Chain A
Amino acid sequence: MAGPILRVENLHKAYGKTEVLRGVSFEVAPGEVVVIIGPSGTGKSTLLRCINQLTPPDQGRVWLEDVEITDKRTDINKVREHIGMVFQDFNLFTHLTAIQNVMLALTKVKRMSPAEARAKAMLEMEKVGLVDKAGLYPAELSGGQKQRAAIARSLAMDPKVMLFDEPTSALDPELIGEVLEVMKTLAGEGMTMLVVSHEMGFAREVSDRIIFLENGAISEDGPPEQFFTNPKHARTREFLGKLTELYGNHGGPRGGRRKK
């Protein structure tokens, strides 16, 4: 029996006196899709960034399979190749076309030949449905297309796990669906995913597990049915109520998200 693909143990992170994470531990099994939800400011993004060490945690350990990422001797760049990350603001490389965005790390990090990299990148563009936009610059793409290109860029590295940091929060409502669709397909193909999101429809439909993060600690961790129908804590219920108010009836991927 294979062990967890990702293991997080007792993570702590503080910015000055503000404790953002206070002892977070969990595991993600291969192929599992875990959605992290919680009120804003509870350290969801910090948690993701602590996993690939973009933000080094103050305390605690993280493993990718049997490699301890938090070990000082680990080559973090090597590890990051295997951890895809998708950002709220896309962060596509502005000076490169969509396909060049996907190719860059293939040639510079994986040391592929340009021809090899282009072929691989094209494959990923196909997966996210952007073949006809491959030659466009980020500024010429819609938000949804940008995010799909960013997903292709991560996928091209053949990651063992993908981290999504509120991938649809910066998108206009009508563009959210196309990104969630790509994520759903990925999940269906068995990609291990850790997703910070407020998309309850996605969480409910696609996730295997939902983690509720509150004040820097996990207050709920279980399958979506339990989470939505029978939350353990009053606070979770209250939060779900608020979300329903904000986003409609646990918002389907395309449905009911009111504009702010």
Chain B
Amino acid sequence: MNLSEAGTLEFMWGILPELLKGLEVTLQLTVTSLIAGLVLAVPVSMVRTYTKGPLNWLATAYVELFRGTPLLLQLFIVYYGLTETGIVLDRFLSAWLALTLNSAAYQSEYIRGAILAVSEGQLTAARAVGMRTIQAFRWVVFPQALRLALPAWSNEVAYMVKYVSVVFMIAVQELFTRGQGIISKYFRLWPTIIEVALIYIVVVYVITRGMDYVEHRFRIPGLETRTERREA
């Protein structure tokens, strides 16, 4: 079939498999960098909350650097900058690394805020029954902080799906990049753009509803965030 001359709907149907392949890459990047970001964000937030001195400065510098510069710049540093210093990562890995480091910086701030929102008395009570500080954190403060950070974290998931599109700049074949490729191949701008946009909308909608469900599922009376309470 010649897609260049096909009818609009036929064209949109015809490019769908190609775009879905791109979506798969987008979701892979989203999920893996979110999870790796979370794994990195937890120690960073703890260092920023509980330590003083060089380690704290380092963590703070990291967070400020990644929150203070555009993701695009970070992507360039990881992909081109590292290559120049002799570290060569493939495109996908570069994209993943930049997204992970960026997301970890934001996630660490959500978690840090949540840790600070857990009242001092919780730690005191845990210490009073004989828990070591680390136990009190693990079993009392941290679970509450995670629950408090969940709404902000849900947003991060939806943002991430869209942020991933910047890796278009280093030609990683995710959804947006594939769309761009289709446009330059068939010169059919509008149907392609609209289809790409629709796919994003559907995915973000599904994720948002999914996270709503998760938030509801892990609802704890007394640990609702203010927005949730307003809705209730």
Q: Which residues of A contact B (CB under 8 A)?
A: 52, 54, 77-81, 83, 85, 87, 89, 91-95, 104-105, 108-109, 137-140, 150, 153-154, 157
Contact A91 B122 (CB under 8 A): yes
The 14 listed contacts between A and B (C-beta, < 8 Å) are A77-B130, A78-B130, A79-B130, A80-B129, A85-B125, A93-B122, A93-B126, A94-B144, A95-B143, A105-B131, A108-B131, A109-B135, A154-B129, A157-B130
Q: Name B222's contact: one of A79, A80, A139 (CB within 8 Å).
A: A139
Q: Which residues of B contact A (CB under 8 A)?
A: 119, 121-122, 124-132, 135, 139-140, 143-144, 147, 220-223
Q: What is the CA–CA distance of A94 and B147 in the complex, to the nearest angstrom?
A: 11
Q: What is the CA–CA distance of A248 and B127 in the complex, to the nearest angstrom?
A: 37
Contact B129 A54 (CB under 8 A): no
Contact A157 B222 (CB under 8 A): no
B58 → A minimal CB distance (Å) = 30
**A52 with B220: in contact, given A95-B143, A95-B147 (CB under 8 Å)?**
no
Contact A91 B124 (CB under 8 A): yes
**A95 with B144: in contact, given A89-B121, A139-B221 (CB under 8 Å)?**
yes
**A80 with B144: in contact, given A87-B121, A104-B139 (CB under 8 Å)?**
no
Q: Select from chain A the residue with minimum beta-carbon distance to B128.
A: A85
Q: What is the CA–CA distance of A235 and B128 in the complex, to the nearest angstrom?
A: 34
Contacts of A83 on B, CB cut-off 8 Å? 128
Contacts of B130 on A, CB cut-off 8 Å? 77-81, 105, 109, 157
Q: Name A94's contact: one of B127, B135, B220 (CB within 8 Å).
A: B220
Contacts of A89 on B, CB cut-off 8 Å? 121
Contact B129 A109 (CB under 8 A): yes
Contact A93 B127 (CB under 8 A): no
Q: Select from chain A the residue with minimum beta-carbon distance to B123.
A: A91
**A93 with B140: in contact, given A138-B222, A139-B222, A140-B221 (CB under 8 Å)?**
yes
Q: Select from chain A the residue with minimum beta-carbon distance to B121.
A: A91
**A94 with B125: in contact, given A78-B130, A108-B139 (CB under 8 Å)?**
no
Q: Select from chain B the residue with minimum beta-carbon distance to A88.
A: B121
Contact B221 A153 (CB under 8 A): no
Contacts of B125 on A, CB cut-off 8 Å? 85, 87, 91-93, 150
Q: What is the CA–CA distance of A105 and B125 in the complex, to the nearest angstrom?
A: 10
Contacts of A54 on B, CB cut-off 8 Å? 124, 127-128
A158 → B minimal CB distance (Å) = 12
Q: Select from chain A the residue with minimum beta-carbon distance to B147.
A: A95
A83 → B minimal CB distance (Å) = 8
Contacts of A104 on B, CB cut-off 8 Å? 126, 129, 139-140
Contacts of B126 on A, CB cut-off 8 Å? 93, 104-105
Contacts of A85 on B, CB cut-off 8 Å? 125, 128-129
Q: What is the CA–CA distance of A104 and B125 in the complex, to the nearest angstrom?
A: 12
Q: Select from chain A the residue with minimum beta-carbon distance to B120.
A: A91
A67 → B minimal CB distance (Å) = 14
Q: Select from chain A the residue with minimum beta-carbon distance to B145.
A: A95
Q: What is the CA–CA distance of A108 and B129 in the complex, to the nearest angstrom?
A: 10
**A108 with B135: in contact, given A94-B220, A95-B144, A95-B223 (CB under 8 Å)?**
yes
Q: What is the CA–CA distance of A154 and B125 in the complex, to the nearest angstrom?
A: 10
B134 → A minimal CB distance (Å) = 11
Contacts of A157 on B, CB cut-off 8 Å? 129-130
Contact B124 A153 (CB under 8 A): no
Contacts of B139 on A, CB cut-off 8 Å? 104, 108
Q: What is the CA–CA distance of A115 and B220 in the complex, to the nearest angstrom?
A: 23
Q: What is the CA–CA distance of A66 and B16 in the complex, to the nearest angstrom?
A: 78
Contacts of A150 on B, CB cut-off 8 Å? 125
Contacts of B144 on A, CB cut-off 8 Å? 93-95
Contact A77 B221 (CB under 8 A): no
Contact A109 B131 (CB under 8 A): yes
**Which of B127, B128, B144, B223 has its CB near the most chain A CB atoms (within 10 A)?**
B128
Q: What is the CA–CA distance of A85 and B124 in the complex, to the nearest angstrom?
A: 10
Q: What is the CA–CA distance of A77 and B128 in the complex, to the nearest angstrom?
A: 8
Contact A52 B128 (CB under 8 A): yes
Contact B131 A137 (CB under 8 A): no
Contact B135 A137 (CB under 8 A): no
Q: What is the CA–CA distance of A253 and B33 in the complex, to the nearest angstrom?
A: 59
A63 → B minimal CB distance (Å) = 18
Closest 10 CB pairs of A and B: A139-B222, A91-B125, A81-B130, A139-B221, A105-B129, A91-B121, A85-B128, A80-B130, A137-B221, A109-B130
